[in-house]
Structure 1
Amino acid sequence: MFGIGERRQRARQALEELRAVLRLALGAAEGGRVAAQTAKDQLEFEQSVLRLGLAKARLDPEVTDARGRPALADTWHRIIAERDEIYTGWHPDGPNRLRRIVAESAPGTAGGPWQDWLGRLGQDAGGTAPVMWRIGTAVVEQAPRDDDFPVAVPLLDRAHLRVNSGPDSRSVVDSLVETLLLRLLSTFTPGLVRVHLWDIGHLTGSLPNLQPLTSAGLLTVHDPTRLDDLLADLAGHIRRVHAQAMRAGETSLRSVCVARGQRVEPWRVVVLFGNGERLPDEQHRELQRVARTGLDAGVNLIAVDVPLSANCPLETIIFGEPHRATTSLTGPGVLFRPDPALDSTQASRAATAIAADLVARRGRPRTFEDLLPARLEQLTSHEELRAPVGFADGAPVEVVLGDATPHALIAGPSGSGKTNFLYAMLGGLAARYSPAELELYLLDFKEGVSFAGLAPGRKDPSWLPQARLVGVNVNTDREFGLALLRFLTQELARRAEAAKQQEVTKLAELREADPDGHWPRIVAVIDEFQALFSGRDRITQQATVLLEDVARRGRSQGIHLVLASQDIAGIEAFWGKPAVFEQCTLRIAMPKAKRVLAETNNAAFSLPRWHAVINHDSGVAHGNQVAHIPDASAKGTFDSLQARLWATGNSMAPKLFDGAHQPPLADALDFANPTGPLLGQIIDVSCRAATISLDAVPGRNLAVIGTATEDAMSIMESSALSLARKHSPGSCDFSVWCAVPALTTRVCALASKLSLAGHSVDLRTDATIADLTPASAERPRFVLFFAVDAAHQWLEHKEPPLMKAKLDDLRALLRNGPANHVHTIGWWRGIGRLKDTLGFAGGDDIGAWVALDVQGAELGTLAAGQVIDWSPRPRRAIFFDKSTHSSPDVIIPFDTQDLP
């Protein structure tokens, strides 16, 4: 047993051992804490040195104090050693490699000293821009001066630039920005770079050496209190350019320009001078949006003391001293020095020369010839149609018809230049696309011949090869506009069926799937199209439905509408179909035009003469492009182009419909090989003749009804002459009967022509008419009965002893003659007189009729009870054949006077 003293001794010994262990643990923990704190201090020290750079760190008092601590002194020596090791490895060839990289990325004006390029005009068309642009030189800290290397930054289409000035460095920053802008302006053809300047502290006076550019519109100085307006303008510009790029099948303006080999839209370089303070929230957000989306639209920002942190390519230059800075490209360990400032006199002269060149090129009158390419008919319409129509600041402004902008709407009051614009557009398209790529259907509802010269004429035999149909003076022939829309819907159906068979949906895909097919893009131009909807009748109803169908489906099948009008505001039927208006995303407004642009877009009201607003964005203001339209209709402009295109001889002449003239029978396409009597030209796209089949079946007789003597005679004569041509000489007989003395001379002349054609002619002009030919014949006989009702005095006379009138014989002839190859073509001067001749049961004996000056309401009984929508008008008739027609055709009687 241990005593109490011994137990106490052991307890003290155990306690001392515990204390010793605790002291060791606490010492180790303190040592660990000290080591961790030292490591932390070393890392923070190294970070501060790297952030400041070695040169500044050597002079920094806090760093100097820290270097006095042994642990941090070791870190300082290690940093110096690592820097020396890295520099020793980089020094032999590093600067040279950087020089080579900058020389390759910033060639010519983009990287050369200003003495080599300042004052020279750029010649680059802007298809692509240099990757980098020189701004100064740099040297690694503590390196010899001869180890410096050039510094360049990406800019146009690639990155924005942010510059933060330091104390007393604003003049150096201004010089850097000025030199960079003059590099841009001197690289490209004047006009391809536009500068916008906003300075929060100055109304004017910023970058004074560049002020001569303002006279040519190359530099725009914005009010420091109106930054909202500038940002809104930039946002609208970006939306418009993006829409244009998408229409071209590209994702950015840069890719569009690369594909075409030239700049199609000037770069906008926006220089913002701030005061270092953050912009108000809304302006800041809008600026961020411009920064994010602007590069793809050719908008580049140079932000000086304007906080900008958008998620986009952005390079930064930070000035700590007037001539010493760091850049995001080179890092903090490299000292950047801007290039020396330009000579102010030479810089101002260079800006003046650039502006003067652009003004001189603008000042040269832009002519129709400037719209034409160097080589004609070289483009494909596979994806779209594209052609310049005018100029804005010397640069061409294009119209585009394709999937994104399928149809165009043009408006302008009389004398505003609408017809001239159409000629400029048609000339630009025809010069670029061959007839295999483009077909034009041209219709003018004005009382004029705007498009007549595009078809062959007596004075000028040439025609526009791309034109397939030309309609002029159709202001009273709305049926022709309706016929054009019917044709387009039929062509839509044909193309849709072909696309279905090829399992494709768009014209471009169809052309790829069927390369041997004929699938050109079709452009239908209808000038003063509102005339088509001028009445509340069947034509307006049908035209409205057809127009909507073409507008909806045409975009995918390559059929495009160009609708022009003096004023579209009052077209009730048109505005009742908003789908039509919405599909016309291309809007062209001539001076003082109304309703064609968006409701709040008043750009057309202030347009000068010979200008137009071209808008591919449904008339929204941000899509406006104001263009000067050159004279395209004067002698030596469009007509000269047409002659050059026609001289290639690779197209058929277009069909011409002239509503002001009767078509000559001799020129009718069907007259060369008629299949029956030709009655007149149908108001239709095909310009075919109306005819009937005179088969040996009951009812195959024709009645001409009305008092319009000249038109009736034309129909009777053209029927006879075409039948004479259809039959070989001596193979048919003619009976020519006329009871009106005043017509005898003309009827005898017709009989003479039939005789000269080798046919037997029975000519009667007196009471012998009542001695009717029997109702049968050995060969076809055609009875031409002029003014039947005038012969009733003889036909109604009853001879004794039977007291039977010859009128019964005529009715028997009409009833039984056709089945026995005897067909009557008779002219009655009123529908009541026709009914008197036919009698109660004779309605079926007239299988076809042509009505002249007869109201439609009177014709229903002759058309199976239909409601005939017809109002008489000069030189027009309505034709109905019970065996073939569901509704009548409007025809134009032929001119037969010059036929030998």
Structure 2
Amino acid sequence: MRRKANEQRARVVAALDQLRHQIGLALGAARNARLAAELELAKLELEQLVVRAGIDRAGEDPRVAERAADPAMAGVLSWLDTVRRQFYAEWADGPNRLRELVAAGAPGPAGRPPSEWLGRVGTSRGVTAPELWRIGEASVDGASAGRTPGVELTFDVAVPLLDESHLSITSAPRTRPAIDALVESLLLRVLSTFEPGAVKVHLWDIGQLTTVLPNFYALSRTSALTVHDPTRLVDLLDELAGHIRRIHAHILQAGYPSLRAMRRATGKRVEPWRIAVLYGNGESLLPEQLRELKRIASGALAAGISLILVDVPTTLGGAVETISLVDERRAVSSMTGTDIVVRLDPPLPPGQVGTAAARIAEALVAKQGGPRSFDDLLPTELGREHSARELRAPVGFSEGEPVELVIGDATPHALIGGPSGSGKTNFLYALLGSLAARYSPDELALYVLDFKEGVSFAGLAPGRKDESWLPHARLVGVNVNTDREFGLALLRFLADELRRRSAAAKEHEVTHLAELREQDPEGHWPRIVAVIDEFQYLFAGRDAVTALATSLLEDIARRGRSQGIHLILASQDVAGIEAFWGKPAVFEQCTLRIAMPKARRVLADTNQAAVAAPRWHAVINHESGIAHGNQLAHIPDASAKGVFAGLQRRLWERYASSHGQPRLFDGAHAPVLTESPAFRELTPVARPKALLGQSIDVADIARGVELSGAPGRHVAVIGTAPREALSILDSAARSLARQFPPGRVDFVLSCLVDTCVPAVTELADWLAAEGHKAEVVSGADLPDRVGVLAEELPTAGRRRMLMLWGVDAVLPALERKAPGQQSGLDHLRTLLKQGPTNGLHVLGWWRGVARLKDTLGFAGTDDIGAWAALDVQGNDLSPFCAGQVVHWSPRPGRALFFDRSTHSSPEVIIPYHRPEPDDD
């Protein structure tokens, strides 16, 4: 046990000795390292003292002498002397080399004297940029270069800018004119190097209300120069950030790290350079503005954007060079170091600067070709494009280049806004023409609906003066501001088409239109574009139309993109659409936004581009209105007389033989019975239908009442409007006459309203001319004639139509009766109850709901199975509509129609136009 303990103790002592030895080594090494570090620090401090004093004068400095006396410092002075000799050997030709470097890096206007380029328009295509831009010159004493002391050696000073670096300029007291001259010289060197349009300049000055660099005024009238509101720095920062995001997305998608790399690889200038000059006042910007400015600076150079900051105290991200003014002529720059003073170039002559700016502006306008016409939007060959993937067409021009509008999966629907007179209709014509010229009617189907008063788009359908039509148009609706039901009908049609396409896509196991067209090449699947101008009228009331229209529009907007159904919604004042507040589904799907000048609430709330947009321009934005998606385009005149019509005639001559004319719905004109397809197709049938008017629908559909043997197969016209009442009964009689062979139906006509007698007489003559018996009964004879009809009812054996105008006027006479006998009113009620089963039908006009109820008596409303109400309020009609609430406010030229056998709720119809004797 003792021996084991001794052995263990010996091991512990040995370990401790080893630890003490290692610690000693470590402490010794640390001490040596510390001594070496202290020696190195002492040498560096001595070097610093020598450099500050100058090698030639170092021996006279007592601090240098004291430290140099240390033997350990003996090598410092000799080493510095060696470095000095080597530097002089290399710097002997330094000024000449600097001049050569600037000459090579700053060719042409970038570095040459103004006399060689000022006033001349640049010619560089803008694929590559000079590396340096001259700002002045500097001098050093010959002694510093191993030359003769006292002899100044001068060299040029230049700074990097485009694609290379940002520039920060700091002023000194009373140096604002010098800074303006410096900035003006740099900008004019840049603008004079490249061809017009290759560079865009943005100016912002916190201290100026209007003019910044007034010598550049001529450029401010072009896209080359934009002066920004001094109170809206956020707008400029948003615009720059938007350019950076858009350009980065474009170049990264193409596989390039920067715009410069893309230019060099492709040999093309795909984007202009942008220089943003920000004049501050020496005070810090707001924290959020500084953060955004730093974010912009870090990614700007790769996107071809350079910043020039004047008295904006901040530390930017990315490469930044500085210029700090000493006085009106001198500055120090990070390019030369603080020990060398730069003599800034003298200001350019103001008059020559103004002339040069004017020439550049004129050249830019000339390059852009001046105002472009509608013909410039059209392709050289019509109908060559395919719409399987998307629709793409130019709608205007920016700097002479076309600005395209794209409708597809990414931008499925468009929202267009602009106050009256802003050019919204002209833009729609430019869009429709550009699309129709590129895509055939088999590739594109158009449905155009205009709620405002007027006939802006009526010319798309054939008219009296022009027989041509736009073959792509399937429907043209104009003057529908009071016919919200027509807009609802269009949405129902689109919803039905969406279901049809979805079913076909499911059958072929595909999800998008392009895939469906590939799998079903024999199918007819054009892209559908529905244009609804002043679409807010759809939601003008708090009723069932608004609710259903909102639901349909949201569904079409959400699902239409995949099946090639696209909405273009236009409005003068989008802010007034209350139906969508809290229901953003439609607006979110309208990622394509077009804002006409002064438009509100179309673009994003922070995007004010439309406010400053000039006349005949539009802001095209494919990014849901975010500022970085803005493209300002000049829209050519497409709505002038003969402009669009010329294209339409060319398209009509090309496609009309294989594509029928569109359906024209004009809310300001009543349809004509004899022009109705339904009337023209009438032939004798067993169960005739009395046509009362036209349905407000996408298709030209006539609404009528089938006069079968079922109970209640009579028609009541209710209201005090004689013109509409005459029209409804007239069209009913004429349509019924065409459904019977001559002599197989009798018409008994009685007019109790004096002003309507001529119209009834004319109708009787027409019926007789058609070969039918038409008996006209006076008001005095009507009670007896009704009695005879009631007595003959079971044995007549013929179809008879009893037509009454103003039944309420004869009610007193009908109500009179002799003791023990039935009155004429009793006989009329018998005809209403038993007439249909015996081939007799009553078609009458009552001038009030109460009068109709008096006629029917206690039997209720079942004996009148169909009615058309004119100037009658909806709540008065509930008893004749199974007790349901009727939403109807009378409006001229319209009737509310209800047929108990076919309708679940009433619908609005348009009575046919009955020609008056004085009609042309």
Normalised to the residue count of structure 2, the TM-score between the two structures is 0.66
What letter corresponds to residue 856 of structure 1 in structure 2?
G
Aligned to 1:829: 846
Query: Using the alignment, how far apart are the partners of 2:858 and 2:222 within structure 1?
Result: 86
1:716 corresponds to which of 716, 725, 729:
729
Aligned to 1:736: 747
Q: How does 1:103-502 map to 2 (within 5 A)?
A: 130=127, 185=191, 190-196=196-202, 213=219, 216=222, 218-219=224-225, 232-241=234-243, 251=253, 266-270=272-276, 285-294=291-300, 299-301=305-307, 352-359=358-365, 364-365=370-371, 367-372=373-378, 375-377=381-383, 381=387, 403-404=410-411, 406-412=413-419, 416-418=420-422, 420-433=423-436, 434=439, 435-501=441-507
1:702 corresponds to which of 715, 729, 736:
715
Query: Using the alignment, how far apart are the partners of 1:250 and 1:503 within structure 2?
Result: 34
Query: Using the alignment, how far apart are the partners of 2:542 and 2:208 within structure 1?
Result: 63
Query: Using the alignment, how far apart are the partners of 2:401 and 2:690 within structure 1?
Result: 58
Aligned to 1:865: 883
Q: How does 1:539-554 map to 2 (within 5 A)?
A: 539-554=545-560
Query: Using the alignment, how far apart are the partners of 1:395 and 1:453 within structure 2?
Result: 30
Query: Using the alignment, how far apart are the partners of 1:202 and 1:764 within structure 2?
Result: 90
Residue deviations 1:541-570 (CA, integer Å, cap 9, x gap):
44444444445555555422413135744x
Q: Is the 8 A contact 2:204 2:233 kept in 1?
A: no
Query: Using the alignment, how far apart are the partners of 1:385 and 1:203 within structure 2?
Result: 44
1:881 corresponds to which of 893, 899, 905:
899
Aligned to 1:641: 647
Q: Which range moves more in the overlay, 711-720 or 662-671?
A: 711-720
Change (3 A) 1:360 1:698: same
What letter corresponds to residue 522 of structure 1 in structure 2?
V
Query: Using the alignment, how far apart are the partners of 2:877 and 2:561 within structure 1?
Result: 41
Query: Using the alignment, how far apart are the partners of 1:296 and 1:860 within structure 2?
Result: 71
Query: Using the alignment, how far apart are the partners of 2:761 and 2:300 within structure 1?
Result: 82
Query: Using the alignment, how far apart are the partners of 1:326 and 1:487 within structure 2?
Result: 69
Query: Using the alignment, how far apart are the partners of 1:652 and 1:296 within structure 2?
Result: 54
- Secondary structure at 2:655's aligned position in 1? coil
Q: Is the 8 A contact 2:417 2:424 kept in 1?
A: no
Is residue 571 of structure 2 the alignment partner of residue 564 of structure 1? yes
Query: Using the alignment, how far apart are the partners of 2:553 and 2:858 within structure 1?
Result: 44
- Secondary structure at 1:678's aligned position in 2? strand
Displacement of 1:232: 3.7
Query: Using the alignment, how far apart are the partners of 2:670 and 2:211 within structure 1?
Result: 71
2:681 corresponds to which of 663, 673, 677:
673
Residue deviations 1:831-853 (CA, integer Å, cap 9, x gap):
44544555544743433222233
- Secondary structure at 2:463's aligned position in 1? coil
Query: Using the alignment, how far apart are the partners of 2:249 and 2:334 within structure 1?
Result: 42
2:669 corresponds to which of 639, 643, 661:
661
Aligned to 2:908: 890
Query: Using the alignment, how far apart are the partners of 2:454 and 2:716 within structure 1?
Result: 34
Query: Using the alignment, how far apart are the partners of 2:442 and 2:109 within structure 1?
Result: 44
Structure 1 gaps, min length 5: 1-24, 45-58, 62-67, 78-101, 138-151, 166-172, 328-339, 756-760
Displacement of 1:264: 8.2
Q: How does 1:741-780 map to 2 (within 5 A)?
A: 742-755=758-771, 761-766=772-777, 767=781, 768=785, 770-771=788-789, 774-775=793-794
Displacement of 1:614: 5.5
Change (3 A) 1:645 1:114: farther
Query: Using the alignment, how far apart are the partners of 2:292 and 2:348 within structure 1?
Result: 37
Query: Using the alignment, how far apart are the partners of 1:593 and 1:746 within structure 2?
Result: 55
Q: Is the 8 A contact 2:118 2:352 kept in 1?
A: yes
Residue deviations 1:306-352 (CA, integer Å, cap 9, x gap):
9999887x69999xxx9xx999xxxxxxxxxxxx9999999997655
Query: Using the alignment, how far apart are the partners of 1:742 and 1:873 within structure 2?
Result: 26
Structure 2 gaps, min length 5: 1-24, 45-55, 59-72, 83-103, 135-157, 171-178, 324-329, 336-344, 684-688, 752-756
Displacement of 1:279: 10
What letter corresponds to residue 843 of structure 2 in structure 1?
G
What letter corresponds to residue 478 of structure 1 in structure 2?
R
Q: Which range moves more in the overlay, 807-816 or 476-485?
A: 807-816
Q: Which range moves more in the overlay, 585-594 or 699-708?
A: 585-594
What letter corresponds to residue 704 of structure 2 in structure 1?
T
2:531 corresponds to which of 509, 524, 535:
524
Q: Is the 8 A contact 2:832 2:842 kept in 1?
A: no
Query: Using the alignment, how far apart are the partners of 1:122 and 1:776 within structure 2?
Result: 102
What letter corresponds to residue 456 of structure 1 in structure 2?
P
Query: Using the alignment, how far apart are the partners of 1:286 and 1:850 within structure 2?
Result: 66
Query: Using the alignment, how far apart are the partners of 1:201 and 1:792 within structure 2?
Result: 86
Q: Is the 8 A contact 1:702 1:848 kept in 2?
A: yes
Q: Is the 8 A contact 1:775 1:813 kept in 2?
A: no
Q: Is the 8 A contact 2:768 2:774 kept in 1?
A: no
CA RMSD of aligned residues (A): 6.7
Aligned to 1:11: none
1:687 corresponds to which of 697, 700, 717:
700
Aligned to 1:53: none
Change (3 A) 1:291 1:808: same
Displacement of 1:456: 1.6
Query: Using the alignment, how far apart are the partners of 1:545 and 1:109 within structure 2?
Result: 63
What letter corresponds to residue 900 of structure 2 in structure 1?
K
Q: Is the 8 A contact 1:850 1:878 kept in 2?
A: yes
Query: Using the alignment, how far apart are the partners of 1:493 and 1:261 within structure 2?
Result: 48
Q: How does 1:51-130 map to 2 (within 5 A)?
A: 130=127
Query: Using the alignment, how far apart are the partners of 2:348 and 2:611 within structure 1?
Result: 45
Q: Is the 8 A contact 1:161 1:316 kept in 2?
A: yes
Displacement of 1:885: 0.9
Task: Quote the sequence identity (%).
Answer: 50
Query: Using the alignment, how far apart are the partners of 1:204 and 1:709 within structure 2?
Result: 66
Query: Using the alignment, how far apart are the partners of 1:664 and 1:735 within structure 2?
Result: 25
- Secondary structure at 2:862's aligned position in 1? helix
Query: Using the alignment, how far apart are the partners of 1:844 and 1:164 within structure 2?
Result: 91
Change (3 A) 1:283 1:474: closer
Residue deviations 1:714-765 (CA, integer Å, cap 9, x gap):
22332333344445x45x722111122555422322313432xxxxx23222
Query: Using the alignment, how far apart are the partners of 2:488 and 2:204 within structure 1?
Result: 56
- Secondary structure at 2:456's aligned position in 1? coil
Query: Using the alignment, how far apart are the partners of 2:731 and 2:623 within structure 1?
Result: 53
Q: Is the 8 A contact 1:160 1:291 kept in 2?
A: no
Q: Is the 8 A contact 1:269 1:299 kept in 2?
A: yes
Change (3 A) 1:880 1:479: same
